[in-house]
Structure 1
Amino acid sequence: MIKLSKGRMSAWIVALSVLFMIIQVYTMLRLPDLTSDLINNGVARGNITYIYHTGAWMAFYSLLSVLFGVANTYTSSVASQKLGMRLRRDIYDKVMGYSNEEFDKIGTSSLITRTSNDVVQIQNVVMMFLRLMIMSPIMLIAASVLAYGKSARLTEIFLVAIPVLILIIGVAMYYAVPLFKAMQKKTDRINLVFREGLTGVRVIRAFGRDQFEQDRFKEANQDFTQNAVKVFSIMSVIFPLVTLVMSGTNVGITWFGGHLIADQAMQVGDLVAFMTYAMQVLLSFMMLAMIFVMVPRAQASADRINELLQAQSTIKDPAASASASQTASLVFKNVGFKYTGAEDPALSGVTFSAKSGQTVAIIGGTGSGKSTLINLIPRFYDVTTGSIQVNSQNISDYKQENLRDLIALTPQKAILFTGTIRENLKYGNPQATDMELWHALDVAQASDFVKELVDGLDAHVEQGGDNFSGGQKQRLAIARALVKKAAIYIFDDSFSALDFKTDAKLRAALKTDPEIQKAVVVIVAQRISTVVDADTILVLEDGRMTGAGTHAELKKSNQAYQEIIDSQIRKGDQ
């Protein structure tokens, strides 16, 4: 946690918080001594003036204690909340730089938990640290010294009370700490199941698996709940036991103190002050112990966050980015790729090239490696063997930001962001004019339905674009890619939700668009009709390129391509 706090907490705010806390402790420790003086020198002697005078000082110190307590709470809140804000910012920035491999390894649900729940745990402990962790030992030591000053003999009671408290809290920590650590992983599990249930709700309903998913969530929820019940049951036992010890200590102090007063070895006021100091000692010890119970859970959270911040992306940027050629080009040279932990490569021996104005289409069965090939171009993953060149430069010689500036990608799943159509279209080109936006919509065959909307380009887009149909979302995603001026346009099976007529119009519009004619177009598709006009069609089978050529050439010579044609003809797809 100390490592996470460095550079993310303001030193002067922490210093102010500690200063306010020290003043608060001082004022709190002055009150029992003043109470003692008031009883011994005021009440016992009937000195009303002294009572008023001492009472005024007690009121003054009480007011100071409240004021500096509020100031300490405020400054410690500012310090802890700003730490949380900066941690979330740094985690988000770090995660945005991850390659797909890191996302696959950690998982989205765990990333969400670490950014939210784990950060909150650290914030809480930092708040407790600035409020109590420093205050408790100071109060414990100072109150013990002052209590000893009032009566050395009565402090012997602490030799019994404190070991009993240590035993109670030690046993509780032994059983509670592992359960606290386990809660974070169980929170991950709940988030995973809940997120899958929300994102896949349509599939769940379509297959009638509502009860199965409810049982799955119930199991994860019960597991978390049982763990939480255990740990908080253990913690709940501590308070009545500690209260019992404190009450017993009070009884002991009153009993032995009464005998000391009877023997005139102690004054009544000193006994009252001693009892107050004793409570401060025991409460400080208890607060300190409670903090140490919470620290392991926060430390587990800190370890999980450190894991994110220290993780190094498998994709490294060069010191300086290469200068791209003005002419668009894409070259694959004997490219192979293997996912981490997989036995067989997802791609092997893929070789092809394309120049500006050319369209490369990729077709093949499910699991043939089409999307994997597409993900290698913007370096979402690094190739295992071979090399890829974009605009006459190896993609590993570009900085990722510069490489991706040359590429416009329409992913397999059309993703729209909350906002307006205009904001979504300008995502890759914030300087785009309305004329350019409408041109992109025209090419993507989306202008008709956008014009029908009341607000046009300013029409609201819900989360994930759920207020549009699948085909409309795809066309808007295609238009967003077209708005970006790129050297390579990639369409990863992004025509799948379009009818044949719209598909044909869109492809014809792409061929005649001046900007597209300057670029390389890569299309991944399942339908023959989508790829039939491509300059080069790559046929993938089990990660291998089994054919490359035009539609006419492959139709005559490639068996896999012929099988795809036959299957689609039989289905009336051509």
Structure 2
Amino acid sequence: MIRQLLQSVREYKRDALISPLLVAIETFIETMIPFLMAGMIDKGIVPGNMGYIERLGVVMLIGAFISLAAGAGASWFSSAASAGFAKNLRQDLYYHIQNFAFEDIDHFSPSSIVTRLTTDVMNIQQAFQMSVRMAVRSPLMLIFSIAMAFSVDAEMATVFIVTVPVMAIALSIIIAIGRPMFKKVYQRYDGLNQVVRENLRGIRVVKTYNRSDTENDKEKVASSRIFEIFSKGERILQLNSPIMQFVMYGTLLFLAWFGARRIVGGTMQAGQLVSLLAYAMSVLMSLNMLSNVFNQLTISMASAKRIVEVLTYESTLKSPTKPIMAVPNGDIEFNQVKFAYEDDHKERLSDINLHIKSGETVGIIGETGSGKSTLVQLIPRLYDVNGGVVSVGGNDVRQYDIRTLRDNVSMVLQQNVLFSGTIAENLRWGNADATDAELVHAAKLAQADTFVQSLPDGYDTYIEQGGSNVSGGQKQRLTIARTLLKNPKILILDDSTSAVDTHTDRLIQEAFNAELPTMTKLLIAQRI
């Protein structure tokens, strides 16, 4: 899992490696300062040797400046590395999702995918930054401080042999209990995103039916479920704070008590006790930082698993090793086709046999839920059959390169959308190289040119997200025009003139018959 995630570091690898190196320099100098301070007290202040104090003071001042510069540099490089890593991780997720089939999107759900691209990636970013800085600093400080404490007074330093394992065991138990809860947290975030997404998409319906209170209640329930599990997990993780403080104060009391007795007995100098107390604080601070690192890693571990689950998910639809790169004609054939959705054990299509010759126009009519859309979605491989064969141009659709197949089998879906941008930009989704004349011709065939020309900016009119500033019928005509620009061999209109009046519907069909005689046309409709 970690190896999969680290593949997204790429060009920020240098920054990610420089930061731990600078942290090591910073930490080493920090742990040397108490040792030098002990020498200053015992060899400079107590005997009154000002020359020694001044020389050691200069060394400590230079060390402090170097440590400060190294710490600032580590923060700079770790921030750049973590931000770049998160950027690449989002891109990798997004690009991978683009290859998903409809069935794959159904498997994860859109709201879950949004959570993984936002909240989960943010958690991973924070964990990565902490890993290249604090996760390096804490163990190094722990090791350096214990080593220096033993060099000062090995007998007194044995206290760390007891305190460090106690903290480690307590931390392990806390993490083991808290980790499963955070996996549930992000599943509940998916539920909240689903509520928000549905509300925003259906805001006009919510307002029309005055159901704002109902939607508020749904959001309140989703938020409460997140609060319930998240607060419980956080409370468990925060138990490490009182345990750490108990161990820390116990260690300081032990060192102060026995150190004072040894100073009085003449077996220890004051400077040694001061440095031991400083090292004790460093050890316990490093343990505290480690606990924070483990807390963040525990929280992010659930996010990491969810992200890797998407990155390693193999799409159910792939181009074959040696694909067919050309569709010869618009023939369509279904031979003993069977199909059922992944999470639905009911067979939606059973033993379908159908042959449509190239250039034919075929109408498909049936009651809601009878499988009309399911039938046509098998032709461009939006889903794959569970049994039998769907052929286009005499070849099994699974033998074609997917891009080639879909360039030649264009489909206007029931819920087609327009994207933010001008009308011309939306139409060029069908053909990025289409000329203005080709845009107008396609719009005329779809009976969209008249209303587009009536707009103040014509084809440069800006379309809001989802096409919210055009009517349902206008949106349908624009999506048909967009599809025609691909000049496919097969055109499928899946109830895509339902919002168009009957007169305009007839004009569209007449234009198709006159201008596109060789194109195979499948028309799904509710009205005969």
Give the TM-score taking structure 2 as reference length.
0.93
Partner residue in 1 for 2:309:
307
Looking at structure 1, the residues matched to 504 and 305 of structure 2 have their Cα atoms a distance apart, in angstroms, of 52
**Contact 1:361 1:524 (C-alpha < 8 Å) held by counterparts:** yes
| Aligned pairs for 1:396-415 within 5 A | 396-415=398-417
Looking at structure 2, the residues matched to 308 and 260 of structure 1 have their Cα atoms a distance apart, in angstroms, of 61
Partner residue in 2 for 1:348:
350
Partner residue in 2 for 1:359:
361
1:497 to 477, 496, 499: 499
Looking at structure 1, the residues matched to 279 and 505 of structure 2 have their Cα atoms a distance apart, in angstroms, of 83
Partner residue in 2 for 1:564:
none
- 1:164 to partner: Cα distance: 4.9
**Contact 2:335 2:389 (C-alpha < 8 Å) held by counterparts:** yes
Looking at structure 2, the residues matched to 405 and 495 of structure 1 have their Cα atoms a distance apart, in angstroms, of 22
Partner residue in 1 for 2:479:
477
Partner residue in 1 for 2:9:
9
- Is 2:75 the partner of 1:73? yes
Partner SS, residue 153 of structure 1:
helix
1:418-470 C-alpha deviation (Å, 9 max, x unpaired): 11111110002000001111111112121222222222212111110111111
Looking at structure 2, the residues matched to 137 and 342 of structure 1 have their Cα atoms a distance apart, in angstroms, of 51
Partner residue in 1 for 2:522:
522
Partner residue in 1 for 2:319:
317
Looking at structure 1, the residues matched to 237 and 321 of structure 2 have their Cα atoms a distance apart, in angstroms, of 53
Looking at structure 2, the residues matched to 403 and 68 of structure 1 have their Cα atoms a distance apart, in angstroms, of 57
Cα pair distance change 1:245/1:476, threshold 3 Å:
same
Looking at structure 2, the residues matched to 64 and 449 of structure 1 have their Cα atoms a distance apart, in angstroms, of 70
**Contact 2:422 2:460 (C-alpha < 8 Å) held by counterparts:** yes
1:430 to 410, 432, 440: 432
Q: Which moved more, 1:134-143 or 1:321-330?
A: 321-330
Cα pair distance change 1:132/1:343, threshold 3 Å:
closer
Partner SS, residue 134 of structure 1:
helix
**Contact 2:325 2:401 (C-alpha < 8 Å) held by counterparts:** no
1:283 to 285, 288, 296: 285
**Contact 2:5 2:308 (C-alpha < 8 Å) held by counterparts:** no
**Contact 1:418 1:464 (C-alpha < 8 Å) held by counterparts:** yes
Amino acid aligned to 1:132: M
Partner SS, residue 143 of structure 2:
helix
- Is 2:450 the partner of 1:452? no
Amino acid aligned to 2:389: S
Partner residue in 2 for 1:252:
254
**Contact 1:405 1:486 (C-alpha < 8 Å) held by counterparts:** yes
Looking at structure 2, the residues matched to 466 and 444 of structure 1 have their Cα atoms a distance apart, in angstroms, of 20
Q: Which moved more, 1:382-391 or 1:435-444?
A: 382-391
Cα pair distance change 1:171/1:351, threshold 3 Å:
closer
Looking at structure 1, the residues matched to 243 and 71 of structure 2 have their Cα atoms a distance apart, in angstroms, of 28
Cα pair distance change 1:166/1:211, threshold 3 Å:
same
| Aligned pairs for 1:153-164 within 5 A | 153-159=155-161, 161-162=163-164, 164=166
Looking at structure 2, the residues matched to 230 and 220 of structure 1 have their Cα atoms a distance apart, in angstroms, of 16
Looking at structure 2, the residues matched to 248 and 394 of structure 1 have their Cα atoms a distance apart, in angstroms, of 75
Partner residue in 1 for 2:88:
86
Partner residue in 1 for 2:300:
298
**Contact 1:324 1:393 (C-alpha < 8 Å) held by counterparts:** no
Q: Which moved more, 1:105-114 or 1:306-315?
A: 306-315
**Contact 1:122 1:302 (C-alpha < 8 Å) held by counterparts:** yes
1:119 to 121, 137, 141: 121
**Contact 1:446 1:475 (C-alpha < 8 Å) held by counterparts:** yes
- 1:277 to partner: Cα distance: 1.0
Cα pair distance change 1:41/1:319, threshold 3 Å:
same
How many residues are matched?
526
- 1:171 to partner: Cα distance: 4.9
1:163-189 C-alpha deviation (Å, 9 max, x unpaired): 553465345334422322322212122
**Contact 1:418 1:461 (C-alpha < 8 Å) held by counterparts:** yes
Q: Which moved more, 1:98-107 or 1:494-503?
A: 98-107
| Aligned pairs for 1:123-162 within 5 A | 123-159=125-161, 161-162=163-164
Partner residue in 1 for 2:63:
61
Cα pair distance change 1:327/1:378, threshold 3 Å:
closer
Partner SS, residue 517 of structure 1:
coil
Q: Which moved more, 1:189-198 or 1:292-301?
A: 292-301
**Contact 1:335 1:386 (C-alpha < 8 Å) held by counterparts:** yes
Q: Which moved more, 1:86-95 or 1:63-72?
A: 86-95
Looking at structure 1, the residues matched to 287 and 462 of structure 2 have their Cα atoms a distance apart, in angstroms, of 57
| Aligned pairs for 1:149-228 within 5 A | 149-159=151-161, 161-162=163-164, 164-166=166-168, 168-228=170-230
Q: Which moved more, 1:494-503 or 1:4-13?
A: 4-13
Looking at structure 1, the residues matched to 2 and 219 of structure 2 have their Cα atoms a distance apart, in angstroms, of 36
1:336 to 335, 338, 341: 338
Cα pair distance change 1:307/1:174, threshold 3 Å:
closer
1:174-222 C-alpha deviation (Å, 9 max, x unpaired): 4422322322212122112222222222333444443333222211110
**Contact 2:443 2:449 (C-alpha < 8 Å) held by counterparts:** yes
- 1:506 to partner: Cα distance: 1.7
Cα pair distance change 1:510/1:69, threshold 3 Å:
same
Amino acid aligned to 1:70: A
Looking at structure 1, the residues matched to 383 and 141 of structure 2 have their Cα atoms a distance apart, in angstroms, of 56
Looking at structure 2, the residues matched to 218 and 136 of structure 1 have their Cα atoms a distance apart, in angstroms, of 40
**Contact 1:24 1:68 (C-alpha < 8 Å) held by counterparts:** yes
1:117-176 C-alpha deviation (Å, 9 max, x unpaired): 222222222222111222222221221111111122322433554355346534533442
Paired-residue identity, %: 37
- 1:323 to partner: Cα distance: 4.5
Partner SS, residue 71 of structure 1:
helix
- 1:32 to partner: Cα distance: 1.0
**Contact 1:324 1:391 (C-alpha < 8 Å) held by counterparts:** no
Q: Which moved more, 1:368-377 or 1:312-321?
A: 312-321
- In the alignment, structure 2 segments of 5+ residues that lack a partner are none
**Contact 2:28 2:144 (C-alpha < 8 Å) held by counterparts:** no
Looking at structure 2, the residues matched to 398 and 283 of structure 1 have their Cα atoms a distance apart, in angstroms, of 61
Partner SS, residue 522 of structure 1:
strand
Cα pair distance change 1:272/1:117, threshold 3 Å:
same
Amino acid aligned to 1:276: A
1:486 to 482, 485, 488: 488
Partner residue in 2 for 1:273:
275
**Contact 1:5 1:83 (C-alpha < 8 Å) held by counterparts:** no
Looking at structure 2, the residues matched to 114 and 78 of structure 1 have their Cα atoms a distance apart, in angstroms, of 21
**Contact 1:4 1:302 (C-alpha < 8 Å) held by counterparts:** no
- 1:69 to partner: Cα distance: 1.4
Looking at structure 1, the residues matched to 63 and 450 of structure 2 have their Cα atoms a distance apart, in angstroms, of 75
Amino acid aligned to 2:188: K
- 1:115 to partner: Cα distance: 2.0
Looking at structure 1, the residues matched to 385 and 186 of structure 2 have their Cα atoms a distance apart, in angstroms, of 35
Partner SS, residue 45 of structure 1:
coil
Looking at structure 2, the residues matched to 171 and 389 of structure 1 have their Cα atoms a distance apart, in angstroms, of 58
Amino acid aligned to 1:47: N
